[in-house]
Chain A
Amino acid sequence: AQSVTQLDSHVSVSEGTPVLLRCNYSSSYSPSLFWYVQHPNKGLQLLLKYTSAATLVKGINGFEAEFKKSETSFHLTKPSAHMSDAAEYFCVVSDFNAGGTSYGKLTFGQGTILTVHP
């Protein structure tokens, strides 16, 4: 079984300051982990993914995340927030490394809403 916990339901930052969105996961297998972003009334866009290669993963729009197995964490960071970063962010774990008939099922965290103030 797998699960994802996003530790903050809301994060508020000022434009130009760092962003930290926290995510802890639980997985019976070597997990694949993702961060997706969703702007209001839009679909989900893949920001970055971890699939057992480098533990520091760089994504689009200046975001990056570090996989820490000992802490079962996959926190998302960005050095300097931009107004356009305001959105909801989902941390997601997949069991597609588990083999069998998982069909790439995703387990979503509850989401973190990021607000960016001018």
Chain B
Amino acid sequence: DTEVTQTPKHLVMGMTNKKSLKCEQHMGHRAMYWYKQKAKKPPELMFVYSYEKLSINESVPSRFSPECPNSSLLNLHLHALQPEDSALYLCASSRRTSGVYNEQFFGPGTRLTVL
């Protein structure tokens, strides 16, 4: 299994809703990443988990709450989002070899629309 899966593919939510995005990989990778991508822009890093511990938070607003329950699963909990949070949310994973993080493999993304 050499892929990263993300669910749901599409999500529409109101500003008062609570929802979650899910990401899963079974490649044995111990680093997992959340990115946000706006139209016609490159992905922007949000969070990095390494060995199930939050290692990087790129000053993301608290209405985004990441969670890494185990080495294969990464969640992004969403609450009280704003319309400007509408974007493609990408998950990625990478292997760590001898202390070095290798190339990242990306999932297909979740297209989020906040009304």
Contact = CB atoms under 8 A, between A and B. Distances in A.
Interface stretch (A15-23, A62-70, A107-115): A107-115
A96, A99, A109: residue with the most chain B Cβ atoms closer than 10 Å: A96
Contacts, number: 60
Contacts of A106: 45, 104
A28 interface: no
Contact of B50 (A34, A41, A42, A103): A103
Interface residues of A, number: 25
Nearest to B97: A96
A26 B48 CA distance: 23
Interface string B65-103: 000000000000000000000001010101010011111
| B-side interface size class | 20 to 34
Chain A interface mostly helix, strand, loop or mixed?
loop
Interface in A20-74: 32, 34, 36, 41-46, 49
A42 B55 CA distance: 27
Contacts of B92: 44
B56 A103 contact: yes
Interface of B: 4, 6, 31, 40-43, 45, 48, 50, 55-56, 88, 90, 92, 94, 96, 99-109, 111
Interface of A: 32, 34, 36, 41-46, 49, 90, 94, 96-97, 99, 101-106, 108-111
